[in-house]
Chain A
Amino acid sequence: MVTKGENMKMKAHSKMLLAFLLGCSYIIAGTIQSSTGIIRILSGKPITSGLPHIITEALYIPHDILSGLILILLGTVFIYGFMELCQGIEEGIAYVYVGTLLAMIFAGIYLLVTTGNILEAYLLKNEDFIGWTPLDDLRPEIYLGFVSLIAYAKWKKQFDVKNE
């Protein structure tokens, strides 16, 4: 039988694990996004072949420096939380909480951008959007944001005000 104390420990471990996994995912995606963005600017043409192309196609990563840096920042917030939780600092949970909120905000931003593109493609029939599908707008901010949303929903109560 699992005691209350053990249960709390498991919850803390699961948050640490999530913070680590999300932190790494955001940093890796951000690094690829930024570096391919730099390559694109330096070479003056889009990346259409080679390993960078295969990776970015498979993971729906655009070639963009600034949004890549933001992904790295989000990853850093999660890793900060992971490190504090590892050191036994309970307040480290704040980084997991704010990390999930920021992740959801940026997922929301890109979903709204996609909504705008849906209006362009299907309502206004803009010729720039011929052949465009909503899948073309899928990017790490959106799918990693969904993971954060699930984590937030699961731990919402634990993020609530704690009184004694």
Chain B
Amino acid sequence: MLEDNNKIKVALAGNPNVGKTTLFNAITGSKQHVGNWPGVTVEKKSGFTKYKGYDIEIVDLPGTYSLTAYSMDEIVSRNFIIEEKPDMVIQIVDASNLERNLYLTTQLMELETKIILALNMCDLATERGDKIYLNKMEEMLATPIVKTVASQEKGINHLLDKVIEERNNDQHHGHEIGYGDEIEEKIFEIEKILANDTEITEKYPLRWMSIRLLEGDENIKDKVNKSSVASKINDVLDSIDQEEYEADIADKRYSTINIIFPQICTRANQVLTKSDMIDRVLTNKYLGIPIFLSLMWGAFELTFAFATPFMDMIEIAFTWLAGMVSTNLQPAWLASLVGDGIIAGVGSVLIFVPNIFILFFLLSLLEGSGYLARAAFIMDRLMYKIGMHGKSFIPMLMGFGCNVPAIMAARSIEDDRDRLITILVVPFVSCGARLPIYILFAGTFFGRQAGTVIFAMYVLGILVAVASAKLFRLTVIKGKPAPFIMELPPYRVPKLKSALIHMWDNGAMYIKKAGTIILLGVTIIWILASFPWGVEYGSESSYVGIIGHLFEPFLRPLGFDWRISVALVFGFVAKEIVVGSIGVLFGVGDNQEALSQSLLADPGITPLNSMSLMVFSLLYMPCVAAMSVIKKETGSWKWTIFAILYGVAVAWIMAFVVYQGGKLLGY
């Protein structure tokens, strides 16, 4: 067993999108999701590795440009370094963007913790012709530096050697920036006052805390206000112009960087890089949005069309299975449970696994290339006009996969009101769980135009989200969105391995849901459809019929009969259950082709009410998992209930307009 002195706790810090998670995965062998845009990691994650007899814990922190704690993810990073006191911090520095990354370095140094700089993406800097003088840099920053290319797992052992070396090195490389006489005097004065409070002295580096107070850090002020020295500190702070001090302190840091930078790096003079060339077109004022829409359309067209043969293969396998069950399983009720319930329900969900895999693979390619960050950029002007923060578009795009991480991704938005609006509108973005509903109904009723109909559903989700944001801005969450500043990452060729892992993780989650919550859901529906004892399976006299008739009056104006009503009611648990329930209630076994035929033959289901159903399913309410994360992220039942009721109201109105409007037009 390892002793405590063989344990090392290391925090990975750095600017957003410099490769922290890639390095984390390379060191710990984890498979955390990596994206090519700022804000992928919103919660700290721990991993372990054993190296040369040491048990090393690595903590991957959300990216932060500074330690100013303007957004929630910045607070997570800062609090971890200060309060949990890791043995050292590895700051991952983007070698191709050295100047900007050094700002965080200057702040980390003030935290009096051991720092190692991992100079990552050296390959990009070298390819561009930049030259970095490592020895000079180490000397000037008084900090050990290791070159890494995390994406190729280069320099990892050297970095771990350095971690062990620093762990056993009692010398601390302190390095302070001088802020000029006036500010230094105030720092000294505040430090002296803070030193009288033992709780603060034990927890925080006093110089760092004094600087943060002079910069007007609200989070630190709150901490000080709870201490015994609050009034004295406030007296000092009241005597200065904090905005001016904040600007002066930032100026001093930049001046220090400007002195250091030319001595440690020479940068090649760039004419036009590939990234610049691509950006010139993809962020073009007129072409940007049409190109974005066309690429998304291409992704959905492929998701539908390329998956078809693979869906057919699954269908063949389930048809064989259903045949085996019906001929060999006794007694009859068990054959019905397995055939009409489990195989019909779960099978009708599993048949869409190829679509889910393809969609996630394509989204992962778009994300890894760096294009999604541009999508946020090109939509910013439009988003700002309608009262949304440009950064909100990234969680919305993430919502195409699953709404749960998308709602969590809103943490990277600094302004609380912008964040709340984003959380409330993300559930309107069509997630992977809703895709089977579209494929089933669009494929059945719209033939070759199915891909376009599915694309239209995704666009409708975004439009409703955007319109809702505007409505919230005008009514319940008034105010202007904060200005949008986001660093555009360089374009990269997406890593196939990373895309396949992302695809598998999400696809596997879908399969797991089919084997758990959907299996449970369809079994309950089978039971409700089979009882009371002696009724015809799935008939109006069964329990499922009674429940369906209970909700039917509310949903009838949208064109839904009692069977669709039941499917929608159970769909609030997980949207996949809608298709599973339809599979059970239309009693056609697992066979999707047969399900399509059954839907086509049913006089109660037409292209018009199938369109209305798709619209309602898209908008009607977040699933249970999304609801719980809304509660967690807003910390409010009021907003959670509001999200549910608002969603149902919008879905009802939109589906009503589609169905009744279509009828008026003669469809």
A interface residues (Cβ-Cβ under 8 A, vs B)? 66, 69-70, 73, 76-77, 80, 90-91, 93-95, 97-99, 101-102, 105-106, 109, 112-113, 115-117, 119-120, 123-124, 126, 159-164
A95 near B281 with CB under 8 A, answer yes
- Given known contacts A106-B298, A113-B301, A163 and B270 CB-to-CB distance under 8 angstroms: yes
A91 near B272 with CB under 8 A, answer yes
B276 near A94 with CB under 8 A, answer yes
CB of B140 within 8 A of chain A?
no
State the CA gap A76–B305 with chains docked (Å): 27
A120 near B298 with CB under 8 A, answer no
Q: Which of B109-128 contact A (CB under 8 A)?
A: 127-128
B residues contacting the other copy or chain, number (CB 8 A): 36
State the CA gap A99–B282 with chains docked (Å): 10
A97 near B287 with CB under 8 A, answer no
State the CA gap A161–B301 with chains docked (Å): 33
A77 near B298 with CB under 8 A, answer no
CB of B302 within 8 A of chain A?
yes
State the CA gap A157–B272 with chains docked (Å): 13
- Given known contacts A126-B312, A164-B268, A105 and B295 CB-to-CB distance under 8 angstroms: yes
A102 near B291 with CB under 8 A, answer yes
Closest to B276 in A: A94
B301 near A159 with CB under 8 A, answer no
State the CA gap A99–B312 with chains docked (Å): 35
Most buried by A among B127, B128, B312: B312
State the CA gap A98–B455 with chains docked (Å): 23
CB of B236 within 8 A of chain A?
no
Q: Which B residues are in CB contact (< 8 Å) with A159?
A: 274, 277
Chosen A-B contacts, 23 in total, with CB atoms closer than 8 Å, are A76-B287, A80-B281, A80-B284, A90-B272, A91-B272, A91-B277, A94-B276, A94-B278, A97-B274, A97-B277, A99-B281, A113-B305, A115-B306, A116-B305, A120-B308, A120-B309, A124-B316, A159-B277, A162-B271, A162-B273, A163-B268, A164-B268, A164-B270
The contact string, 1 if C-beta is below 8 Å from chain A, for chain B 276-298, is 11101110100100110011011
The minimal Cβ–Cβ distance linking B193 to chain A, given in whole angstroms, is 54
A163 near B309 with CB under 8 A, answer no
Q: Which A residues are in CB contact (< 8 Å) with B305?
A: 112-113, 116
A162 near B272 with CB under 8 A, answer yes
CB of B442 within 8 A of chain A?
no
Q: Which B residues are in CB contact (< 8 Å) with A115?
A: 306
- Given known contacts A93-B277, A98-B278, A98-B281, A163 and B129 CB-to-CB distance under 8 angstroms: yes
B287 near A80 with CB under 8 A, answer yes
Q: Which B residues are in CB contact (< 8 Å) with A90?
A: 272
Q: Which A residues are in CB contact (< 8 Å) with B276?
A: 94
CB of B28 within 8 A of chain A?
no
The contact string, 1 if C-beta is below 8 Å from chain A, for chain B 410-438, is 00000000000000000000000000000
Q: Which A residues are in CB contact (< 8 Å) with B306?
A: 112-113, 115-116
- Given known contacts A94-B272, A116-B306, A161-B273, A66 and B297 CB-to-CB distance under 8 angstroms: yes
State the CA gap A76–B271 with chains docked (Å): 25
Q: Which 3 A-B pairs have the closest CB atoms?
A: A94-B277, A119-B309, A98-B281
The minimal Cβ–Cβ distance linking A127 to chain B, given in whole angstroms, is 11
State the CA gap A101–B129 with chains docked (Å): 25
A109 near B302 with CB under 8 A, answer yes
State the CA gap A52–B501 with chains docked (Å): 47
B128 near A161 with CB under 8 A, answer yes
Q: Which of B542-580 contact A (CB under 8 A)?
A: none
State the CA gap A38–B391 with chains docked (Å): 37
CB of B269 within 8 A of chain A?
yes
State the CA gap A95–B276 with chains docked (Å): 11
A120 near B312 with CB under 8 A, answer yes
Q: Which B residues are in CB contact (< 8 Å) with A95?
A: 280-281
State the CA gap A77–B291 with chains docked (Å): 9
Q: Which A residues are in CB contact (< 8 Å) with B280?
A: 91, 94-95, 98
CB of B452 within 8 A of chain A?
yes
The minimal Cβ–Cβ distance linking A31 to chain B, given in whole angstroms, is 16
Closest to A126 in B: B312
The minimal Cβ–Cβ distance linking B372 to chain A, given in whole angstroms, is 16
A98 near B282 with CB under 8 A, answer yes
The contact string, 1 if C-beta is below 8 Å from chain A, for chain B 179-190, is 000000000000
- Given known contacts A70-B294, A163-B270, A164-B271, A123 and B309 CB-to-CB distance under 8 angstroms: yes
State the CA gap A115–B6 with chains docked (Å): 56
State the CA gap A151–B309 with chains docked (Å): 33
Task: Report which of B290, B307, B309 forms a contact with A73, defined as CB distance below 8 A.
Answer: B290
